[in-house]
Amino acid sequence: MRYAHWTLLSIILILAASMAWAQCPIACPQPCPIAQQPCPEACPQACPCPASVPAAMGAGPAAGLECINCPDFDAAYASQMYAQNSVIIAVTEFGMQRANDSNLRDISGEINGYLTSANGKLQGWYGVIACGPVSPNCAEAQAIIAELSAQPASCFDAVYARTLSQLLSQSNAANTLAGTRVITLPMRQQAQFLAGKEANWSFRLDRWVGDHG
């Protein structure tokens, strides 16, 4: 009888715990309601931050620069790299305002300054080669910023750092290619210089994500 009594009591306790758990919200990021505490296990406090970058990000300029010894390679490179830089400039301007981490704001300012200067030179070189102005890629910049804006404050820095690193990797691929194929000497030298800077920036951002993301 004593065994039956303890068995019945155990069943009642398990059913009670199951009912409490059923009332505890599983969908994050909501915690357990205070009135229903304690739950059998702690409810999840927050969703994990997404590990992906914004879907609006394109493939980068390198994909359009695969031809070898194209007669218009310099003009194509200047146009596409100017557009790519314009996206990164816009994203870093947004990041400097929104990022919580001071190191991310500092590297964003550094990137913004270098690429703003680079775009001024690309605009001049393209004008000589193609007799016209180059255009920024406003649509991609706005789409990426819109997706970053939707991130909660707790996730923004990590998603922003990964996004910026990926954009810089795209630029690095194009500048590495241009460093061997561009005919205009100062443009080629700038491409080689920026390829090195972009590799360093990406490394620093990836390291930050590894430490904080």
Give tens-digit pLDDT for 36-54: 555 444 444 455 666 666 7
- pLDDT of res. 51: 64
Closest to 164 (Cα-Cα) out of 76, 82, 78, 105: 105
Per-residue tokens: 161: 């750092």
- Find the angle CA(177)-CA(203)-CA(75) to the nearest 5 degrees: 25
Determine the average pLDDT of the residues in 75-79.
94
Which domains does the chain possess?
A: 70-212 (1.20.1260.10)
Q: Are 136 and 23 in contact (CB under 8 A)?
A: no
Q: Where are the alpha helices (DSSP H) in 24-72?
A: none
Pick from 163, 126, 127: nearest CA to 49: 163
Q: Which H helix or E strand runs over 40?
A: none
pLDDT digits (tens, 9 = 90+) for 179-213: 999 999 999 999 999 999 999 999 999 999 999 86
The pair of structure tokens assigned to 80 is 């596409």
pTM: 0.76
Tokens of 28: 């994050």
